[in-house]
Amino acid sequence: MSGGSTPCTPLPSGGVLSRGPVRPMSVEAMRSAVIAVRAGAFDGAPAATDVVAQVAATRPTVAPPSIGDLGRAAVVVLPAHAGAGASAVALSVAEALSAYRAVQLVEFADPHRSGLAAASSSELGVDESGWHRGRRNRIDLARRVTDRRSVDDLPAPPSTGTDPSEGDGLLVIDVGWPTMAMLSGSGWTRALQGRARLVVVSRVTVPAVRQTEHLLGVLEVPAVVACVGSGRWPRMVTASCGPALRAARAAGRVVPVPVDRRLAIAGLTPDPLPRPVAAAGRALASLLALDPSTVPDPPRMPLREFDDVPGVAR
């Protein structure tokens, strides 16, 4: 080499570095190595994969909690398709129910997809269980702080956080995930459709009602349907309804939720919901048939409350 520099001394054959190409470790191999080190398995000890198997075998098996374990009535708001408007419907139902009891509204969407991020009137920060908490009148709002890869990784709803003098709060869940993924999960979310009151949210379009029909056919219990859009359905939308949706309309279990232009642009904020949307929430709450011992029957609202809601029977 020029310049009188000292040539590098090559490493011995048993050195740390090798001349061959270095293959990156897989995530599973790295995980196995970490578990092996923590278990004290080094050279001459059993293989790391054996240690992983031993550690997994010694972990206690805990059954995932279900809605029945929560000890309170639950309403689950399910979007029939993407962009249905489920968060607005969930908030309107929660506000209607909060007139009688304390309500906890829990959203399971990833933080960057949250529809309730700005809906609290006061932010309370992150609690010890990792939920972002807030308040909106008598509603306790809880949102996830971290993303989850699968519905099976979703935690159970947090503790109610309400005043003990108000008793156990009602639980309203805005799932924030594709509904079919929620219902096919192996964790506690699978128990939702058998133990909770369901509200399915759909737009008034042909593709939307087709997806709603499919979802209603999958659910094991009858659901109330919130249709976001005009109360007068176009003829082609009505013609696209299947037997489940036609039966729900005939039974009066379909409630129109009008589209509010300001709400569509600004999203949910601490401001009160538009009166027509709030009225639709009260109509949905009255159809949920919650346990009378948990929630008193809502009084019949004056007809003028629904003057701005197209399609509500008068």
| One domain, residues 257 and 117 | yes
Select, from the ranges 50-59, 185-194, 257-266, the one with the highest average predicted confidence (pLDDT). Answer: 257-266
The answer on 164 and 288 residing in a single domain is: yes
- With left for phi above 0 and alpha for psi between -120 and 50, is residue 40 left, alpha or beta? left
Same domain, 136 and 245: yes
Stated pTM of the model: 0.69
Residue 30: exposure state from Cβ atoms within 10 A (0-12, 13-18, ≥19)? exposed
- Cα distance between residue 174 and residue 300, in whole Å: 26
Do 109 and 226 have their domain in common? yes
Same domain assignment for residues 158 and 247: yes
Asked if the structure places residue 90 within a domain, the reply is yes
Residues 227 and 255 in one domain: yes
Q: Are residues 34 and 152 in the same domain?
A: no
Q: What phi-psi label fits residue 109: left (phi over 0), alpha (psi between -120 and 50 degrees) or beta?
A: beta
- Reported as a single tens digit per residue, the pLDDT across 199-229 is 999 999 999 999 999 999 988 778 999 999 9
Write down the mean pLDDT value for the chain.
75
285 within a domain of the structure (yes/no): yes
Same domain, 44 and 153: no
- Are residues 199 and 116 located together in one domain of the fold? yes
Comparison of pLDDT for 37 and 301, the residue scoring more? 37
- 67 belongs to a structural domain: no
What CATH number corresponds to the domain at position 248?
3.40.50.300
Query: pLDDT at position 194, please?
Result: 57
- The four Cα atoms 293, 303, 102, 86 give a dihedral, to 10 degrees, of 110
Give one word for 219, left, alpha or beta, with left for phi > 0 and alpha for psi -120 to 50: beta
Band (pLDDT 50/70/90 cuts) for residue 186 is: low
Q: Rounded to 5 degrees, what are φ and ψ at 242?
A: -90, -175
Confidence of residue 127 (pLDDT cuts 50, 70, 90): confident
Asked, for residue 1, whether it belongs to a domain, the answer is: no
Give the domain range for residue 52: 28-59
Between CA 204 and CA 215, with CA 210 as vertex, the angle to 5 degrees is 105
Residue of 59, 36, 31 lying closest to 47 (CA atoms): 36
Assign 197 to helix, strand or coil.
Answer: strand
Q: Domain boundary residue among 59, 81, 110?
A: 59
Domain count within the chain: 2
CA-to-CA distance for 173 and 176, rounded, in angstroms?
A: 9
